[in-house]
Amino acid sequence: MRISEEYNISGSVSDDFILLGFPCRWEIQILLFSIFFVTYLLTLLGNTAIVCAVHWDHRLHTPMYILLANFSFLEICYVNSDVPNMLANFLSKTKTISFARCLLQLYFFFSLGTTECLFLSIMAYDRFLAICRPLYYPTIMTTKFCSSLVIFCWVYGFLWFLIPVILITQLPFCGPNVIDDFLCDLGPLLALASACVPIPGTVLICGTMSSLLIFATFFYIIGSYTLVLRAVMQVPSIAGRKKAFSTCSSHLAVVFLFYGSVMMTYVSPGSGQAEGMQKFTTLFYSVLTPFFNPMIYSLRNKEMKDALKKVLGGS
């Protein structure tokens, strides 16, 4: 890429990386900034509305909606870990990010992504209990237990990727400091470090931990919803079957949106994806999925739609 060569800097990377973002003419940069800025604002508005709706409507003070409110708050944190810097990058001439800020962004971005995988798993477990074990659901999924699951997701999410990030801080970045992405992502950083010295151990650890997290949570979610859908098909009431299927289909839509793009990116980090492909898959699950989630969760949920009308309309 000509722009990459233009920025290519030799020597030790001790101060800054250069995030190429989406190289194009200045007019296109402004257009992209406008599109993503509006998307960012709508994402914040949609997810904040869900958090407020659950908080203010006492009918939604149930485990399913408590988990959904926490998930929406997570999405707010998630987009704030990468989008503000991406927006600033569109308007920047230098497009630089300090080494410390780059590693900090990497840690928070991956920790929040890990937390999202765990929340999707817990939400699948909640639906499994509610539909497949309805008699035991009130005694198992208590408010205290639900709060413990929420705390587990947040704490474990921020611990899981600590070791890979520490390993990356020890890598030598001695050559080009150009990252062909809009954030400090795992694959491009490993690629920069491997240009200096072979790092098969670090790549193996990062790839193993990413794959373990992604596949373990994904197959657990799919297994849970398989049992749920089988139980739904046995519900005698058509109305009850439709309501249960509506809830599960919303959750599954979010799961496939998120995991489909994540698997393309992180199952084998640093393996050299097609040029430009990684940034678009990353863009999809880190920017577009949080944007679509509020619409997916509220579109076919009458209780949530009613609560959102009160929050947004004040009636």
pLDDT in tens, 53-99: 899 888 889 999 999 999 999 999 999 999 999 999 999 888 899 98
Per DSSP, the residues of 130-179 read HHHSTTTHHHHS-HHHHHHHHHHHHHHHHHHTHHHHHHHHTS---S--EE
pLDDT band at 3; cut points 50, 70, 90: very low
Other residues' Cβ atoms within 10 Å of the Cβ of residue 202 = 19
**pTM (two decimals):** 0.87
Q: What is the pLDDT of residue 82?
A: 93
pLDDT in tens, 188-237: 888 888 888 888 888 899 889 988 999 999 999 999 999 988 888 877 77
Per DSSP, the residues of 200-215 read HHHHHHHHHHHHHHHH
Q: Please give the average per-residue pLDDT across 109-127, as a whole number.
A: 94
Task: List the one residue out of 13, 16, 18 whose CA is nearest residue 174.
Answer: 13
For residues 297 and 250, the answer to whether their CB atoms sit within 8 Å is yes
Q: Cα dihedral angle (185, 187, 189, 190), rounded to 10 degrees? A: 150
Give me the domains of the chain, ranges plus CATH numbers.
97-301 (1.20.1070.10)
Q: Please give the average per-residue pLDDT across 238-261, as a whole number.
A: 78
Q: What is the pLDDT of residue 233?
A: 81
Please give the Cα distance from 209 to 267 (Å, whole number): 9
Q: Is the pLDDT of residue 149 over 90?
A: yes
Which positions ≥6 away from 219 have C-beta within 8 Å?
Answer: none
Q: If 0-12 CB within 10 Å is exposed, 13-18 middle and 19+ buried, where does residue 167 land? A: middle
Q: What is the pLDDT of residue 14?
A: 53
Please give the Cα distance from 115 to 159 (Å, whole number): 10
Task: List the one residue out of 77, 149, 62, 144 whose CA is nearest residue 113.
Answer: 77
Please give the Cα distance from 181 to 93 (Å, whole number): 16
Q: What is the pLDDT of residue 117?
A: 94
3-state secondary structure of 309: helix
Please give the Cα distance from 31 to 37 (Å, whole number): 10
DSSP class of residue 1?
-
Which positions ≥6 away from 83 have C-beta within 8 Å?
Answer: 36, 40, 43, 286, 287
